[in-house]
Structure 1
């Protein structure tokens, strides 16, 4: 790779550390989670025959790693794709400027690929180490509960970490190839007119892809709903996987859904807070791609957490009512579900905080321009507060819709009714967690973003 490409890539990373910190964290989590579950499988595969044949309670280490890894890896990769799309939108204007000074589309794509490779290599070492240590801790916890053979040990070979690095690179490069097309496909002047907020209209291919994924999620939920009443575990797995596919559809259709919900929720905001509400509503509806980047992590947090909580509550209700023998009633499996929920919430929470902080920090020039036309810092913070509340509400509504669809399909299979058992207190804590992660993240970063000299900020670079 040529030196100018490396210099341009390094320069973008230095100028936008907040944006690349989010991408780096997402890639770090992807490498760590692949290393974690790959190490568990390696521990079972490389164990002596006598140890491998030891009887244990539960499904066995390979099945646990596969079931956990399937969902966790998909969530981690989803977070990577969302973070990368956000990072490229933040440097859209800079990359478009390269094309106006005779850079070819191929050279721009090479700059983007170099950024992904550099970020992945930077986090691969720490990610692999954390994944290895997490695998040892997780295996020890399984052994204490009799779910893994006492003689199993995590091997010290770097193969799982290398696989994690390869997976993160493949996903990052594939996502960058798709995301870079929005910059390299149109003419340079047309690409330059699109700001970091994204195009006014959602591209038709993205809408079609979102509708196709939405249909796939619907088929998975139909499969979950058609399971016999006695197959609680299989129905739950299909419903959980269906919820994840629906969340991918939310990511693709996010700008469309966010714009519609912003229009609905923005009306009362204009009434309750005429000035700040008007500005917040105009910002959210005018920059649908930016709003989508903010609400998708919130929807991921609420959708996955809500689905797991409602599925568990409904299954336990059925078990108490019928006395059916199922893994739902086993303490070891309850612990596994709690561990899975904690891991997924961690991914979603990190994605939410990283995206919102970087998104708000990148708006310094916008805030400075508003101050130059008469807005005060207090008014801008009020506007950000309203935006934070609306962003949280939109993300919670989208996530709740996914959780309702998945849990409704599961409930139909196991109870014959689409109305599941909802643990109100637990779901309330999920919503509160979304609020705590979102509102302080936006307003707190806004305190810094609205500071400094407005004239100097507007005269300097964005972000």
Structure 2
């Protein structure tokens, strides 16, 4: 099965692109931030400089690690779901669940090793740029030089490999435990059911988010900017919790949107409604990065706005520590925006490219290319709206908690422009990517696509 896994990677390279990019970007991010630990140790940094370097590596790197593990799991799940018919066929010819699990884990491990090794190239300059940012804001003395060493390499390669294998084991268990006939049915009509473990983990993440909110409102109340240490993580935990529930959320969103889509889109609306009802599981993978993007970006931006207004109201100038917090927040925003934006584009491309045969069959059944494009556009609208709503709910965990603890107000300061800018970026990324990927998929003649 290991040999089969290697052959599968060679012959189905495009199918593994989403997972590979998640691992590559994740390893790059982890190594870049972990290199701050190498820098602190090699330079002999002490005091505030050392604390800044360690905080940057542990806090931002920890949040990044959480996003990476979740992204890898999501993309691997999508990849395995797209191969449901292949896995069912292997079962029918005698492959055991253990053999199939070894194949899936072998594929993931091979991808992880390759992605982590290649990630060293961009991680080195990324870490240097991060240190340059700290130099430029006077949080770290200019005489502290950059070091990329064993900590960065071991964490980047080790975490990527472990998270990929763990995600593969979770994915493999779900894909291999059902019987052959059930696998064939799932491959034909899709399977968007929520497993008991998925529900448990979703509830756990949401409870952790609630716990962060309670801690912020009690223990951290009146502690100034220190309250951001607890409230700042709440939107990430809440976003992951909601993303784990995405299959059920997408089923509900599809049911609500079916009527308006049919009224506005006509035949294309009917096509979109029917397709989305059948593809709730795949759509859940696509809406996940939107939820994380909106939730973390909106939560962090408005938390910083709350902090700035509190400082202005007190007539205080920013101290070095407060400048560090602001820099940290903007680094988080930049990291999340880049990572989730690439994951959003990558996941949509992978999911749409897999539908080439479906689009061909739809066109042979009488749908025009314009109707297929319109249906894809309607799907992207529902994805965007659902992701924005869930992401906004996730961001409220941070905004409300920090606002009450810092300035006794649950309403964030500033105008609505910040929120609209985040929503507009999410909409553009989703809409443009979906339209371009669908257009490329239907460029293949219908008969040829249907036979693939």
- Deviation larger for 321-330 or 149-158: 321-330
Quote how far apart the aligned CAs of 1:439 are: 0.5
- Hey, what's the Cα distance between the residues in 1 that align with 2:401 and 2:7? 49
- Deviation larger for 70-79 or 356-365: 70-79
Match of 2:209 in 1: 217
Match of 1:146 in 2: 138
1:383/1:159 Cα in 2 relative to 1: closer, same or farther (>3 Å)?
A: same
Match of 2:9 in 1: 13
Quote how far apart the aligned CAs of 1:243 are: 1.1
1:38 equivalent to 2:34? Answer yes
User: Is the Cα–Cα contact under 8 Å of residues 309 and 423 in structure 1 kept in the other structure?
Assistant: no
- Deviation larger for 313-322 or 367-376: 313-322
1:232 equivalent to 2:224? Answer yes
Q: Secondary structure at the match of 1:146?
A: coil
Match of 2:110 in 1: 118
1:380 equivalent to 2:386? Answer no
1:254/1:429 Cα in 2 relative to 1: closer, same or farther (>3 Å)?
A: same
User: Is the Cα–Cα contact under 8 Å of residues 315 and 328 in structure 1 kept in the other structure?
Assistant: no
1:186/1:213 Cα in 2 relative to 1: closer, same or farther (>3 Å)?
A: same
Q: Which deviations, in whole Å up to 9, do the C-alpha atoms of 1:95-147 show, x marking residues without a partner? A: 22111110111110111111111111211222122212211221123223322
Quote how far apart the aligned CAs of 1:422 are: 4.9
User: Is the Cα–Cα contact under 8 Å of residues 24 and 119 in structure 1 kept in the other structure?
Assistant: yes
1:439 equivalent to 2:431? Answer yes
Q: Secondary structure at the match of 1:194?
A: helix
- Hey, what's the Cα distance between the residues in 1 that align with 2:189 and 2:172? 15
1:356 equivalent to 2:352? Answer no
Quote how far apart the aligned CAs of 1:156 are: 4.9
User: Is the Cα–Cα contact under 8 Å of residues 137 and 323 in structure 2 kept in the other structure?
Assistant: no
Superposed, which structure 2 residues align to 1:130-145 within 5 Å? 130-145=122-137
Match of 1:457 in 2: 449
Quote how far apart the aligned CAs of 1:438 are: 0.5
User: 1:71 pairs with 35, 41, 63, which one?
Assistant: 63
- Deviation larger for 354-363 or 264-273: 264-273
What TM-score results when the alignment is normalised by the length of structure 1?
Answer: 0.91
- Hey, what's the Cα distance between the residues in 1 that align with 2:41 and 2:118? 25
- Hey, what's the Cα distance between the residues in 2 that align with 1:196 and 1:85? 17
Match of 1:177 in 2: 169
Q: Which deviations, in whole Å up to 9, do the C-alpha atoms of 1:382-441 show, x marking residues without a partner? A: 111111111111111111111123211222222333222254212211111101111110
Quote how far apart the aligned CAs of 1:33 are: 1.7
User: Structure 2: which 5+ residue stretches go unaligned?
Assistant: none
Match of 1:187 in 2: 179
Superposed, which structure 2 residues align to 1:39-58 within 5 Å? 39-48=35-44, 52-53=45-46
1:60 equivalent to 2:22? Answer no
User: Is the Cα–Cα contact under 8 Å of residues 225 and 409 in structure 1 kept in the other structure?
Assistant: yes
1:208/1:46 Cα in 2 relative to 1: closer, same or farther (>3 Å)?
A: same
Quote how far apart the aligned CAs of 1:67 are: 2.2
User: Is the Cα–Cα contact under 8 Å of residues 365 and 457 in structure 1 kept in the other structure?
Assistant: yes
Quote how far apart the aligned CAs of 1:253 are: 0.7
User: Is the Cα–Cα contact under 8 Å of residues 36 and 56 in structure 2 kept in the other structure?
Assistant: no
1:289 equivalent to 2:281? Answer yes
- Hey, what's the Cα distance between the residues in 1 that align with 2:119 and 2:342? 15
Quote how far apart the aligned CAs of 1:325 are: 7.0
- Hey, what's the Cα distance between the residues in 2 that align with 1:24 and 1:430? 26
User: Structure 1: which 5+ residue stretches go unaligned?
Assistant: none
Q: Secondary structure at the match of 2:252?
A: helix
Match of 2:256 in 1: 264
What TM-score results when the alignment is normalised by the length of structure 2?
Answer: 0.94
User: Is the Cα–Cα contact under 8 Å of residues 58 and 147 in structure 1 kept in the other structure?
Assistant: no
Quote how far apart the aligned CAs of 1:56 are: 5.4
Match of 1:25 in 2: 21
- Hey, what's the Cα distance between the residues in 2 that align with 1:80 and 1:69? 16
- Hey, what's the Cα distance between the residues in 1 that align with 2:414 and 2:260? 28
Root-mean-square deviation (Å): 2.2
1:43/1:277 Cα in 2 relative to 1: closer, same or farther (>3 Å)?
A: same
1:252 equivalent to 2:244? Answer yes
Q: Secondary structure at the match of 1:60?
A: helix
User: 2:234 pairs with 229, 234, 242, which one?
Assistant: 242
User: 2:87 pairs with 89, 95, 98, which one?
Assistant: 95
User: Is the Cα–Cα contact under 8 Å of residues 296 and 336 in structure 2 kept in the other structure?
Assistant: yes
Q: Which deviations, in whole Å up to 9, do the C-alpha atoms of 1:337-369 show, x marking residues without a partner? A: 222211111011011000001101100111111
